[in-house]
Structure formats: structure tokens, C-alpha cells
Amino acid sequence: MTPLEESIGYKFRNSLLLAEALTHPSLGHETQRYHFDYQRLEFLGDAVLQLVITEYLFRNFRVEAEGQLTKLRSRLVSRDALKTHAAALDLGRYILMGRGEEASGGRERTSTLADTFEALIGALYLDGGLEVAKSFILAQTRGDLEKLAEEPVDINPKGDLQELLQNISPRSPIYELVSQSGPEHEKTFVSQVVWEGIVLGQGRGRSKKQAETAAALEALNSRRWEKKF
């Protein structure tokens, strides 16, 4: 396995796909002869990335409207976000590019790193199928996805729940820690939200805040208060 394959935990059956994903267009321009580059794989990888992230948001953010989901997806697939993922894999060092492009800082350029990351996704999709590409995407974006659960853009489940309930009663919902388990560095918290004696929802997360957010999301989804009021 190449060092990059070891980093991503996948061995390509067709090594030419990996080579294509790591070839910058400047190489062909500089040699003035035909040479494959990552542009077509980038096109494919972008579509696969959008699909995987869209499905994840659809399944895990169940009460958000289309516009909110679109904003969340835009945050996850932005050029800067993709550059960060590429940099974490040190993709810049593996890219084949013309000497002029390299001299002008091409290995650190945001567009180049983001495009190469998408091209790598496209190559993984063609070589191993959707599940391989999906596993790679979710592994690389895990940190962003966890942060999104705690601090969603334009989404405030706890605030939205409180606003809904205050239209019925002046009492605010209370969040209770139900349990915590696991080693100190990798704890799992379970919290529930209670209002007017009703357990409206329960959620789990890697922090108390994330667990409370998940509980509020479940409450908004189940709307158990409607059975009493």
C-alpha cells in the first residue's frame, strides 16, 4: 500500500484511479501533451459527497426544513472544509503537478486541495463502490458532524422547543442528566427534557450539551406535549 492508502485504510484495486485523482491539470499543460488529470473524478466525487452528506443530514436532523438542511450541507462541503480534510491527509504532498504550479504554492492552494479531495472520493467510488466512498466521507468529516450536532447553523432545538412550550405555559423545560458511561476521554451522556411532569424526549451525545440538543430534537419530533394539552 502507498502511504496515502495506509492513511485512508483502503487499498485500490485499480491504482490508475488513484494516480488520476492525484494529478493536477497543470502537468498536461506544462508538458504540452495529453495527460489525465483529476477534473473528471472531481466532478463525480462532488456528486457522491453531496449525496452522502445529504442522506446523513436527512436521517439525523429530522425536524429541520429544507432551507435549514441546505445551509448545514453547505457548511460541510464548503471549499474551506474540504481543504481542511485534505490537509489532514496531507494530500498536497501526493499531488502530481507542473513545476510552475508547485512554485506558485499550488500544493497549499485551497481550490487544489478541495478539488483533489473530491477527486479522491470519486476514485474510491469507482474502485470500491458507494459504501467505500461513504465510509471514507463519514470518517473524514466525523469531527464536523459531531460539532454540527452541538452547534447547528441556524438551528437551535432547545430554543425552538422553549418557544413552542411557552405558548402553552410560562414554565420552561428542564434538562436532566440520566446517565454517563465510558472512559473519561470518551464518555457518552444521556439526557432527557422534562416539562410539566412529562418526559418529552431523550438523547445521547459525547457531551452534556450534545445530549441535551439530541433530547430537544426528539421532543420536537415526537411532540408529546400535544397529548396532554
pLDDT tens-place string over residues 154-197: 667 888 898 889 888 888 999 999 999 988 878 899 999 999 99
192-217 pLDDT, tens digit each: 999 999 999 999 888 888 889 889 98
Categorize the per-residue pLDDT at 32 as very low, low, confident or very high, splitting at 50, 70 and 90: low
Candidates 20, 37, 42, 46; catalytic one: 46
pTM, rounded to two decimals: 0.68
% pLDDT > 90, the chain: 54
Please check the confidence at residue 31 and state whether its pLDDT lies above 70: no
Active site residue 102: no
Query: How many other C-beta atoms lie within 10 A of the C-beta of residue 165?
Result: 20
- Which of helix, strand or coil describes residue 21? helix
Active site residue 118: yes
Crossing angle, helix 66-76 and helix 142-150, to 10 degrees?
A: 140
| pLDDT of amino acid 113 | 95
Candidates 20, 37, 42, 118; catalytic one: 118
Structural domains of the chain ordered from first start = 3-150 (1.10.1520.10), 157-227 (3.30.160.20)
- Cβ neighbours of residue 61 under 8 Å, at least 6 residues apart? 68, 69, 72, 152, 155, 217
Tell me which of 102 and 54 has the higher pLDDT.
Answer: 54
